[in-house]
Chains A and B, each alone.
Chain A
């Protein structure tokens, strides 16, 4: 059930859109910024325009109903939509527009890592899952690799569970463990930003809790942008929240404000559980 955003019955106090600039109220620099981002699937425009700024070492949650474009938006940020969709506009990563053909997309994806909805460990050992991308980049020193495996798994809060079985298949782990392994795999290549696309949607509540704890500690080192269907999750872990609806970012603000004093009527309806 969608409610017309310009419904006259709600009075004039509601804004149609309200996007804040975190750099005005926060000390952290902006690491990622989108300008006039538009995404097309063929003729069909999935994202109309998204102008958002993501502050460093903060967790930003993207929320919104199914089909609102939040996942499409996220996947455009590290160009996972290349060849699938047409992305127009600018994606500024530390001032550099990475949405340009001449950008080294592989190096860019190393710095802007991604974790997906369903855990997707490779059918290799736990150890090889972590070091695979490093080996491909020419890191072969055993001691270095061992150290990276340990620190990555520790940061992803899964070291204690797997340290004795590093040579076992990653597919033998539980879903929650697999997802934390995927996070460890993503941070092993030392990214700057982590994009997470509904990382807990396939997990049980206990695994979700562990994953959230992990993310809370990870934000000290990484900037995290997470798409979530779960509004409680967004409220629990994120510093900023963007509300998407029908391919548009309608409201972007500090999470506490989005959930307590939304300025846009549709945001209010959504966080109150009226639709979505």
Chain B
């Protein structure tokens, strides 16, 4: 076979493969959105769910999903950033560091249902947090930390060493160099890692069923005191998220319009993740421009 022909065959095969992926992706997204869109309206997005009658919404679940996402990020991002900085900038390359890296990799491959049961035993039962947003956020932190740490570490590693030397040669300490030169330079890549893990958190159900719970008590959106039980901000209340809601409707939903609500919820979930990605990218670009003047 001549090289020209084999090259052409290889390219065609690659085109077919990538084309297939795009078609599958587009079909999936299209199906979810098209079948879900008719159910989506303002009432659906804002009103509480109904267990037995039709006309329920997903307002509380939607809020819970975002609140849980923010809370999880607030807990896990500083830890992951610190761990990433330590592993890439300070840790000596010896067997201890190698062991830590291996542990992180193993942790990242834990099935999320195992993380959920672990969170149930530790946070819900042992620490007596009950089925609560806080338990869910801690469980999701375990679920999220390995990948986020890994992606932050890789983002930092991609910054050339010459930048570190440049800072040190000016008489700056290592810490100043890392915080003021390396982290800003790695920011877009760090942000990509955050976006990816945020998508995973937003769509996670199994780890939350046993931690954040499967019920969504009515909330009073006029009450923003986090110590009140009906306040949306109260982290100790049980909080069914959108993804858990979809799972629950499909497994035991008895309302007449279960199918429509399930499709609508799925579409909202997908659109939210998409919107979150776009927003984060936009903010990241602006932030990078401001930090680097490029």
Number of chain B residues whose Cβ lies closer than 8 Å to a Cβ of chain A: 21
> Least Cβ distance of B17 to chain A in Å?
36
Per the 8 Å Cβ criterion, residues 108-151 of A in contact with B are 108-111, 113-116, 118, 120-125, 128, 132-133, 136-137
The residue of chain B having its C-beta at the shortest distance from the C-beta of A137 within the complex is B171
> Least Cβ distance of A129 to chain B in Å?
9
Q: Are A136 and B292 in contact (CB under 8 A)?
A: no
B105 at the interface (CB under 8 A from A): no
Q: Are A120 and B163 in contact (CB under 8 A)?
A: yes
B293 at the interface (CB under 8 A from A): yes
Q: Which residues of B contact A124 (CB under 8 A)?
A: 184, 291-293
Q: How far is the CA of A136 from the CA of B184 in the complex (A)?
A: 15
Q: Which residues of B contact A111 (CB under 8 A)?
A: 171
Q: Are B166 and A122 in contact (CB under 8 A)?
A: yes
Per the 8 Å Cβ criterion, residues 159-199 of B in contact with A are 160, 162-163, 165-173, 176, 180-181, 184-185
A39 at the interface (CB under 8 A from B): no
Q: How far is the CA of A168 from the CA of B294 in the complex (A)?
A: 6
Q: How far is the CA of A110 from the CA of B172 in the complex (A)?
A: 8
> Least Cβ distance of B164 to chain A in Å?
9
Choice from A110, A116, A185, A186 contacting B162 with Cβ under 8 Å: A116
Q: Are A123 and B169 in contact (CB under 8 A)?
A: no
On whether A120 and B165 interact (CB within 8 A), knowing A132-B180, A189-B170, A189-B171, the answer reads yes
Q: Are B294 and A133 in contact (CB under 8 A)?
A: no
On whether A186 and B184 interact (CB within 8 A), knowing A80-B165, A120-B163, A172-B294, the answer reads no
Q: Are A185 and B292 in contact (CB under 8 A)?
A: no
A169 at the interface (CB under 8 A from B): yes
Q: Are B170 and A110 in contact (CB under 8 A)?
A: yes
Q: Are B171 and A110 in contact (CB under 8 A)?
A: yes
Q: Are A116 and B171 in contact (CB under 8 A)?
A: no
**1/0 contact trace for B272-294 toward A, CB 8 Å?**
00000000000000000001111
Q: How far is the CA of A128 from the CA of B184 in the complex (A)?
A: 13
A171 at the interface (CB under 8 A from B): yes
Grouping DSSP codes into helix (H, G, I), strand (E, B) and loop, the A interface class, with mixed when no group exceeds half, is mixed
Per the 8 Å Cβ criterion, residues 48-95 of A in contact with B are 78, 80
Q: Are A185 and B165 in contact (CB under 8 A)?
A: no
> Least Cβ distance of A85 to chain B in Å?
14
Q: Which residues of A contact B294 (CB under 8 A)?
A: 123, 169, 171-172
The residue of chain B having its C-beta at the shortest distance from the C-beta of A188 within the complex is B170
On whether A169 and B176 interact (CB within 8 A), knowing A109-B169, A185-B170, the answer reads no
Q: Which residues of B contact A24 (CB under 8 A)?
A: none
On whether A136 and B180 interact (CB within 8 A), knowing A116-B166, A120-B165, A189-B170, the answer reads yes
Q: Are A169 and B293 in contact (CB under 8 A)?
A: yes
Choice from B167, B172, B292 contacting A123 with Cβ under 8 Å: B292
Q: How far is the CA of A137 from the CA of B172 in the complex (A)?
A: 9
Q: How far is the CA of A167 from the CA of B160 in the complex (A)?
A: 23
A182 at the interface (CB under 8 A from B): yes
> Least Cβ distance of A24 to chain B in Å?
32
Q: Are B169 and A113 in contact (CB under 8 A)?
A: yes
Per the 8 Å Cβ criterion, residues 67-94 of B in contact with A are none
Q: Which residues of A contact B172 (CB under 8 A)?
A: 106, 133, 136
> Least Cβ distance of A13 to chain B in Å?
42
Q: Are B162 and A120 in contact (CB under 8 A)?
A: yes
**1/0 contact trace for A172-191 toward B, CB 8 Å?**
10000000001001100100
Q: How far is the CA of A124 from the CA of B185 in the complex (A)?
A: 9
> Least Cβ distance of A166 to chain B in Å?
10
Q: How far is the CA of A171 from the CA of B184 in the complex (A)?
A: 14
Q: Which residues of A contact B181 (CB under 8 A)?
A: 122, 132
> Least Cβ distance of B158 to chain A in Å?
12
Q: Which residues of B contact A113 (CB under 8 A)?
A: 169-170
Q: How far is the CA of A51 from the CA of B162 in the complex (A)?
A: 28
Q: How far is the CA of A168 from the CA of B289 in the complex (A)?
A: 10
Q: Are B185 and A116 in contact (CB under 8 A)?
A: no
Q: Which residues of B contact A116 (CB under 8 A)?
A: 162, 165-166, 169
A-B contact pairs, 28 of them (CB 8 A): A80-B165, A80-B168, A80-B169, A106-B171, A106-B173, A109-B170, A109-B171, A113-B170, A116-B166, A118-B162, A120-B162, A120-B165, A122-B163, A122-B181, A124-B184, A124-B292, A124-B293, A125-B292, A132-B180, A132-B181, A133-B171, A136-B180, A137-B171, A168-B293, A171-B292, A185-B170, A186-B170, A189-B170
Which B residues are within 8 Å of any A CB, using their own CB?
Answer: 160, 162-163, 165-173, 176, 180-181, 184-185, 291-294
